Structure 1
C-alpha cells in the first residue's frame, strides 16, 4: 500500500483541475479515449521504472536514477529539461486560473488575448512572492491539498469551470487550425503534464525493498487509483460539461466560489513548483552551490519566477494553455525515454523488450504531435 499511495500522491495534483477541460476542448467526443491512452502509457512507464530500480539502484529521483544507470550526462539532461519545463508549466497554470476567474463573470469561455495577461502575471507574482518568503506549507496542508484539488475539480467540471469552447472557436484552451486528429494528439501529449509523477517509483520502490510481486501489485494499485480519479473527472466533464458553455449556466455565486477556490489551490501549486524548479536548477551547479541551508538561493527562485512570467507573456494567444503544457510534457517524455533506454541497456531480456516498447510509444506520440502542430 505504501507504493500505491506514493504513486497516487505523486501523480494526482494540479492536473486534476487543469486537464479535464483542456482535453475536452481538444478531443471533444474522444476525450475518454485520450485519457485511457495516457493512463496506459503512463502506467506502463511506472511499471517499467519500478522493475528497473527494484534491485539496481537506491531510492533517488528520476534524474539520479538515470544518472546512476547511464552516466552523469543523463542526470544533468533530466535536471535541465525539468528546470525549464516547470517554468512553462506554471505559466500554463496561471493562464488557466485567469481563464477560470474571467469565466466566472458570465459563465462563458472568455476569448484569448492580452486581456487575461495582467491577471495571469498577477497570479504568478503572488506565487513567486510567497516562494521567496520564509513561508512554508505545513505537511498536513500538503497531504490535504490533493483531496482539496479533487473536490474543487469535481465542482468545476459540474458547475463552475471555464466552459468548453466550440470546435474552432478562439480560446486559450485550444489552438486554431488543428485537424480533429491533430488536436487529439496534442491532448495526449499535453496530458504528460498530469502524468508528471509516474516516476515517483524510483524513490519509493527501492526504499520499501518489496519483492517483484509486491512491487508490481503496489504500482498497479496506484495506477488504478490514479485512473479512477482521472477517468471519473473526465467522464463527468464529457457527459455533464463538454457542451459549449452558455452564459449563466450556473448561479454566479457558485461560479465565483469555485473559481476563487481553484485560484487558491492552483496558486499554492505554483508556489511549491517554483521552489521545486529552483531546487532542480541548483543541482545543475557543481555541488549545488547555488543553495542555502534552507533551500535554493533567493536569486535563483527569482530567476525561475521571471522565466515563468516570460512564458506567460509569450502565451497571450489562442491555445496558450495546452501549448505551454508541452513544456512539462517534453521534460517527462525525455526523462521517461532515458529511463526506458536504461532498461534496454541494463535490464534482462523481458525488461529490454518493455523498454523498447515504451521508447517506440513515446517516439510515436512525439512524432505525431509535432506533425499535427507543424501542419496547423
Structure 2
C-alpha cells in the first residue's frame, strides 16, 4: 500500500510504457493463478455437502455460485488493474477505501479461517467414520474425537519447522482433485437420504432453506476469486488481456467444479448399488482424503496466524518472518473450540459459513470500492454485486432461523 490511491505502481507504469499490456503470457498467468487460488480443499468437501443440502437442485446452486464468484473476480480485476499495486484483497481495499477496510478484511478472514479448519476436520472425520461403517455416520458427537485429533496433528505440524516443498504445494490441488473424483464415484463419505440429518445437513431446514445454505456455504470453495488483486497488477495486461485471463480462469474452475458436481449428482441418482464399496477402497479413499485435507489445515492455520499478526501495529508490514509460535498455537486452540462447538447435526455446512461470511465481507468491500473509485460501468457492477451478496446473506440467515 505504498503507492497512492488511484495511482498505478511503477511496475505497472513501466509495463504500460513498454507495451507489456499486450504480452501474450499475461492472460495465461492470470488464468492459472485464478485456478490455483480457487481450486483446493473445496474440491473434495463441497460436492457431497451441496448434494446433501440441495439434492436435485445442486447443479443450479453450483452454477449460481460460479456466476457470482466469476463476476466478483472480473470486478476486482478491472478495479485494481491500474489503481493499486499487486497485493492481497485486504491491501487493495485498504488502498482504495482506507486502513479500516484493510483491518476489517484481515479480521474477518483471521477468524473465519479457524472455523474453516474445524469444518474440514469434521468432514475428514465423517469420511473416516463412513469408511469404517460403510454408510453415512449418524449425527452427534461421535466424530468429535476424530475431528479434534486431526486438528491437533495439523497444529503440531504448523508449529514445527517443517515446510512443504514448493513442488508438493503445486501438486496438492491435483491430489485434492483425484481424491474428489474418487469420493464422488465411490460414495465417500456417503450422501444421507433426503431429510436425514448428519454432519452434512442440519435439522429443521426446509428444502428451500437448505438450498440457500448450500449457496452460502459454497463461498468456502470460492475463497480465491480475489487472487486477481495480486496477479493482475503484477502482469500489467491491458483491459482485454485482463478480461480474457479472468474468463479463462473462470472457465477452468467451472469445468472442474461442475464436472465433480455432475458426477456427484448423477451417481447419487443412479440405481442403488448392491452394497457399499469394498472396505479396502473405502479406507484408501478416506485415508487419502485425510492426508490431503490435513495438509490444507496445516497451511491454513499458518495463514490464519499470519493474517492475525497484521492486526496489531508491530505485525502489519512483517513479510520477512512468519507469525509467532504463540499466535499459531492460539489459532489452533480457536480451531478446536469451533470444532467442539460444531459437535452435532450439520457441523460441516454451519462451520463453512465462517469462511463464507469472510468472503462475502471482503467481496462486498471490493464492490464498495468499485462504487466509490470506479467509472460508471464499475459502479453499476459494484452496486449489482452488493445487492446480490446482501440478498444471499439475508435469505440464508432467514432460512437458518426458520423465518
Q: TM-score, normalised by structure 1?
A: 0.97
Greater Rg by CA = 2
2:8 paired residue number = none
2:325 paired residue number = 298
| Residues 1:217 and 1:187: Cα distance change in structure 2 (over 3 Å) | same
CA contact (8 A) 1:61 1:200 kept: yes
Tell me, in whole angstroms, the C-alpha distance in 2 between the residues paired with 1:291 and 1:218: 31
| Residues 1:219 and 1:57: Cα distance change in structure 2 (over 3 Å) | same
With 213-222 and 110-119 compared, the bigger mean Cα shift is at: 110-119
Q: How many residues align?
A: 375
Q: CA deviation at 1:287?
A: 2.9
Tell me, in whole angstroms, the C-alpha distance in 2 between the residues paired with 1:21 and 1:7: 23
Q: CA deviation at 1:241?
A: 3.1
Deviation digits for residues 341-366 of structure 1 (CA, Å, limit 9, x no counterpart):
00000000000000000001100100
- For the aligned residue pairs, the C-alpha RMSD in angstroms reads 1.5
With 166-175 and 84-93 compared, the bigger mean Cα shift is at: 166-175
Tell me, in whole angstroms, the C-alpha distance in 2 between the residues paired with 1:249 and 1:118: 25
| Residues 1:140 and 1:245: Cα distance change in structure 2 (over 3 Å) | farther
Structure 1 unaligned blocks of 5 or more: none
Q: CA deviation at 1:13?
A: 0.2
| 2:367 matches 1:340 | yes
Tell me, in whole angstroms, the C-alpha distance in 2 between the residues paired with 1:247 and 1:306: 43
CA contact (8 A) 1:11 1:197 kept: yes
CA contact (8 A) 1:189 1:366 kept: yes
Q: CA deviation at 1:250?
A: 1.1
Tell me, in whole angstroms, the C-alpha distance in 1 between the residues paired with 2:390 and 2:192: 30
Deviation digits for residues 4-38 of structure 1 (CA, Å, limit 9, x no counterpart):
00000000000001000000000000000000000
CA contact (8 A) 1:343 1:351 kept: yes
Deviation digits for residues 174-196 of structure 1 (CA, Å, limit 9, x no counterpart):
11111111000000000000000
Structure 2 unaligned blocks of 5 or more: 1-28
| Residues 1:292 and 1:129: Cα distance change in structure 2 (over 3 Å) | farther
| Residues 1:292 and 1:231: Cα distance change in structure 2 (over 3 Å) | closer
Tell me, in whole angstroms, the C-alpha distance in 1 between the residues paired with 2:274 and 2:295: 29
| Residues 1:216 and 1:293: Cα distance change in structure 2 (over 3 Å) | closer
Deviation digits for residues 143-184 of structure 1 (CA, Å, limit 9, x no counterpart):
000001001100011114111111221200011111111000
2:205 paired residue number = 178
Tell me, in whole angstroms, the C-alpha distance in 1 between the residues paired with 2:197 and 2:353: 19
SS in 2 for 1:167: coil
| 2:279 matches 1:264 | no
| Residues 1:258 and 1:9: Cα distance change in structure 2 (over 3 Å) | same
| 2:86 matches 1:39 | no
Deviation digits for residues 56-114 of structure 1 (CA, Å, limit 9, x no counterpart):
00000000000000000000000000000000000000000000000002321001211
| Residues 1:118 and 1:291: Cα distance change in structure 2 (over 3 Å) | farther
Tell me, in whole angstroms, the C-alpha distance in 1 between the residues paired with 2:201 and 2:269: 14
Deviation digits for residues 179-226 of structure 1 (CA, Å, limit 9, x no counterpart):
111000000000000000000000000000000000000000000000
